[in-house]
Amino acid sequence: MAEKKNFILRVDPETFSILEKWASDEFRSVNGQIEYLLNSAIIHSGRRQLHTKKLAGNANTKIKKK
């Protein structure tokens, strides 16, 4: 697993409460939910391409965005 950076994130109580509920609904921790949302936004913006797992020796097969 890749090393992850730690940082402090400050959010208002209402936002945190919404994130807690959302994370629980999707069986994630709040930290995992925030990481999922950030990665989704980065991919959606086109700033990172989504790659599939290694398929028949081709590790760089890209999945097209919809």
State the pLDDT at residue 57. Answer: 47
Residue 8 has pLDDT above 90, yes or no: yes
What is residue 55's three-state secondary structure? strand
Residue 38 has pLDDT above 70, yes or no: yes
Q: Which of 27, 45, 34 is nearest to 7 (CA)?
A: 34
Segment 41-65, tens digit of pLDDT = 999 999 987 665 434 444 444 445 4
